[in-house]
Amino acid sequence: MNHLIDRSVGCLVGAAVGDALGGATETALPEEIRARYGGWVEGIVAPFHENWAGRLLAPYHKGDGHITDDTLLTHALVRVYARKRDHLDAFDVAELLVPDLIERVVHIPDMEREAVTFHRLAAAERWLVTRLHHAHADPREAGVGNICNCGAAMYMAPVGIVNAGDPAGAYAEAVEIAGAHQHSYGREAAAVFAAAVAAAMTPGADIEDVVAACLDLARDGTRAAIEAVVKAARGHRDWREAITPLRAAIAPYDTVGEEYRSPGLGARRPSRLHSIEELPIALGMLVVAGGDFRAALLGSVNYGRDADSTATMAGAIAGALGGAAAVPAEWSATVAQASRLDLTEPAVVLAEVAQQIFTADQARFARRADRFAELTR
């Protein structure tokens, strides 16, 4: 396979593997994770909640290699790109993504049944359907009023692949798309994550190039949070030792607080001073790991809290940096089988679409160059 396909596969398979591994430890704190599993999680494990089926509000079979809504939404966005075969905007979210979520029947691994993706979405993601399908809101403004979380960021990796090598382009496209879903620092994180993937897709890039791209583009609290977490990460080379200092570094910017399952009244509200937790921590774990997939993923998984989304982002960036070979085959094979998903096919399709979009971009720029040349004669 060529480099574009290889890195696309690494990115999207890596994201799915991160989602599956992190799903098991989601909402738990590091000390709870170690108590439940008798030590650090080192791979695919059983659900944190042994009686997961009895959890009335969230009867999801997370763990055992099952992907969650992070990957379901990522694959839905790939299908949207495959339909349009061009750059996306907020109107495409309303016209193409929302119908996919409410009409297309897919296998939902952690629900262990076939259903439309909407049935698996949390409230902040169902907002997409409420605002765009039922309320007919202007897609460019539909995200306003939603809780600020990582719901839009967690599925923005395809935007980075389409804009491979162009972090600023990825940022601009993702901030446009995410406006239909999120606002404030939730929208900002989506744009910065897409930029991180685009930077990681660049030939010869390493984690320092990715961090530099993020810091160049990020604004307000998101930039400050990334800067603080990365600074703390530079003092560590072992993810086990980095968990506590990285949590301390993100704490001033995170509105959820230490009691993750019981956030306070100020949680997830718009702010220019705050940030989602997941993206800065993913970048921090990647810095600690030197870009290594396995170490960055395990750090994200054992960090707990919103572990599936943190590990999704770490896996996408590490996979884009290292290509398909960076993702441990024993993990990806188990996740694919357990989730009954072809993890590679969406990445191959998206790489093909990215090539078509780039060709169209070249033609568009050539036309503009000709017109601009006439203006300067």
Residues 247-280 pLDDT 10s: 999 999 999 999 998 998 999 999 999 999 999 9
* Confidence at residue 264, expressed as pLDDT on a 0 to 100 scale: 86
Report residue 27 as tokens. 């909402």
* Confidence at residue 100, expressed as pLDDT on a 0 to 100 scale: 98
Give the count of alpha carbons within 13 A of 113, CB side only.
7
* Confidence at residue 374, expressed as pLDDT on a 0 to 100 scale: 95
Instruction: Determine the average pLDDT of the residues in 49-57.
Output: 87
pLDDT at position 215 over 90: yes
27 neighbors 304 (Cβ within 8 angstroms): yes
Cα(193)–Cα(195) distance, integer angstroms:
5
Give the count of alpha carbons within 13 A of 227, CB side only.
11
Helix, strand, coil fractions of the chain, as percent rounded to 5:
65, 5, 35
Nearest to 21 by CA among 49, 50, 47, 55: 47
Cα(284)–Cα(229) distance, integer angstroms:
6
pTM comes to 0.98
The domain 3-375 is placed in CATH, from the list 3.10.150.10, 1.10.287.1080, 1.10.4080.10, 3.40.50.300, at 1.10.4080.10
Cα(121)–Cα(9) distance, integer angstroms:
25
pLDDT at position 323 over 80: yes
280 neighbors 313 (Cβ within 8 angstroms): no
Residue 206, exposed/middle/buried by CB under 10 A (0-12, 13-18, 19+)?
Answer: middle
**Which residues sit in the known binding site?**
68-70, 306, 308-309
- Local confidence band at 314 (pLDDT 50, 70, 90 cut-offs): very high
Which residues lie across from 116 on neighbouring strands? 105
Longest CA–CA span in the chain (Å) reads: 74
* Confidence at residue 1, expressed as pLDDT on a 0 to 100 scale: 66
* Confidence at residue 60, expressed as pLDDT on a 0 to 100 scale: 94
Mean pLDDT, the chain, integer: 97
pLDDT at position 360 over 70: yes
Residue 170, exposed/middle/buried by CB under 10 A (0-12, 13-18, 19+)?
Answer: buried
* Confidence at residue 267, expressed as pLDDT on a 0 to 100 scale: 95
- Local confidence band at 56 (pLDDT 50, 70, 90 cut-offs): confident
**Which residues sit in the known binding site for Mg(2+)?**
68-70, 306, 308-309
Cα(200)–Cα(9) distance, integer angstroms:
13
Nearest to 87 by CA among 160, 155, 138, 143: 160
**Other beta carbons less than 10 A from residue 172's beta carbon:** 18
pLDDT at position 145 over 90: yes
Annotated domain spans of the chain: 3-375
Q: Within 46-166, where are the H helices?
A: 69-84, 90-92, 98-103, 123-129, 157-162
Instruction: Determine the average pLDDT of the residues in 175-186.
Output: 98
* Confidence at residue 58, expressed as pLDDT on a 0 to 100 scale: 85
Cα(180)–Cα(140) distance, integer angstroms:
5
Cα(99)–Cα(129) distance, integer angstroms:
9
305 neighbors 21 (Cβ within 8 angstroms): no
